[in-house]
Structure 1
Amino acid sequence: MPKRVDHHARRTLIADALMRVAADRGLEAVSLRHVAAEAGVSTGMVQHYFRTKDEMMTFAMETVGERTEARLTAAVEALGESPAPKALVRTLLTGLLPLDEPRRAEGRVALAFLAYSAARPRVAAALREDAAGMREVLAGRIRAAQDAGDAPEELDPDHAATALLALVDGLGVHVLGEHYAPETALAVLDAHLDTVFGPSPH
């Protein structure tokens, strides 16, 4: 009986190799040949699953997105039922910051993906969709805080959510460049969250 091939596992193996190459050597080092060597497979196998570099990059971005979503979901579930909006928003945003080595590697890859997609509208579509989804979640939590009297009524939830994401993106870039320590990034984030939700009780 012929052996069954797990095609998704092979595609994921290749995507993982791409992310290692991008994290260690930069996106300019990513090629079908380099990724094949990193994955320990033939260039022909890579080309069997991904006809172009764009296809390979898109799948790798989707893989990063799925893993990030799973990590954030677990962190939110750890808060218990009906967490306060501020606690939930802080958990989501700190989960996006490169505060440990696995997330730093992931952050370097995400930054490389962002630069790669800047001139490729089709590749950028998935990133725009992910960002829009996160903004919607954050804005919803800000509205919930407003309804509960825990955030200023005059605050525009969509603008506030966009500002929070932009802040986290900027902090993440500077943490990756070692301009700020992770503790500094967290302190700045917490200070900004206080302007949105008010100070946390001590």
Structure 2
Amino acid sequence: MREVAAEAGVSLRAVQYHFNSKHRLLVAALRLLNEDDDRHARARLSALSDPADPRTLLHAIMREFLPLDGRRRMALRVFAAYYARSLTDPALASVFLADSRPLELLVAGILREAQRTGAAAPGLDPDHEADLLVSGVSGLGMDVLHGRRTMAEVQRVVDYHLGRIFTV
């Protein structure tokens, strides 16, 4: 909390007044980061040339979780730090790893609609595909941060999986 106070240029007491525990400070920071990331992602998605095309939309959504620029690189690092801490902090885990999985539900919904219109292979399980896409892209993004993979390699993997899912 001292570091946060110093970085913000306020007294430690001010930070303690607003966040009476380290847990509340971490939760508030996580919520702010999520809101900020969501706002930037929505702006990028609204600029898509064809947002009605499910493949284009899913490709853009998956790119949001890759370290393509400084902002997303920092967000992925912060996500990794929160994840690591949530492994030993049950109170933080209850906030960080909420029961609902909105991204997976969004991706599965896009896949269901693509199947309905014939744009996606009919035999796929949208829920399983969504789980694999979201977790896979998250892991591939970490590999890019560590220098184990290049963005070009990751893009080929994402394109491969989307090509397997979409028939058009």
TM norm structure 1: 0.77
Does 1:171 find its partner at 2:114? no
> Using the alignment, how far apart are the partners of 2:132 and 2:96 within structure 1?
17
Q: Does 1:98 align with 2:35?
A: no
Give, as a single letter, the amino acid of the residue that structure 1 aligns with 2:20.
R
> By how many angstroms is 1:188 displaced?
1.3
Query: Which amino acid is 1:79 matched to?
Result: L
For 2:51 and 2:60, the matched residues in 1 are separated by 13
- In the alignment, structure 1 segments of 5+ residues that lack a partner are 1-31
Residue 124 of structure 1 deviates from its aligned partner by 2.2
Identity, % of aligned pairs?
A: 35
From 9, 12, 24, give the equivalent of 1:43. Answer: 12
Query: Aligned pair in 2 of structure 1 residues 87, 143: CA closer, same or farther (>3 Å)?
Result: same
Aligned to 2:22: 53
1:72-115 alpha-carbon deviations (Å, 9 max, x no partner): 21122112575211111111110111111221111111110111
Range that drifts further, 41-50 or 112-121: 112-121
After the TM superposition, which of the residue ranges 82-91 and 129-138 deviates more from structure 2?
129-138
Q: Is the partner of 1:113 in helix, strand or coil?
A: helix
Question: Aligned equivalents of 1:175 and 1:64: distance in 2?
Answer: 21
- Contact map agreement 2:2 2:12 (CA 8 A) in 1: yes
Residue 119 of structure 2 aligns with which residue? 150
Code of the residue aligned with 1:69 in structure 2: it is D
1:66-105 matches, cutoff 5 A: 66-79=35-48, 83-105=52-74
Partner SS state of residue 150, structure 1: coil
Give structure 2 stretches of 5+ with no counterpart.
none
Q: Which moved more, 1:116-125 or 1:57-66?
A: 116-125
Task: Please list the CA deviations of residues 153-181 of structure 1 after superposition, one character each: whole Å capped at 9, or x if unmatched.
Answer: 11110000000011111111111111112
Aligned pair count reads: 168
Distance 1:101 1:82 in 2: 25
SS of 1:161's equivalent in the other structure is: helix
2-side partners of 1:177 and 1:72: how far apart? 23
Deviation at 1:128, TM superposition (A): 2.9
- Over aligned residues, Cα RMSD in angstroms? 1.8
**What's the secondary structure of 2:159's corresponding residue?**
helix
TM-score, scaled relative to structure 2: 0.92
Structure 1 residue 137: Cα displacement:
0.5
Secondary structure of 2:17's match? helix
Contact kept in structure 1, 2:51 and 2:57, CA below 8 Å: no
How many Å separate the matches in 1 of 2:47 and 2:130?
23
Indicate whether 1:187 and 2:156 are aligned: yes
Separation in structure 1 between the aligned mates of residue 4 and residue 122 of structure 2, nearest angstrom: 51
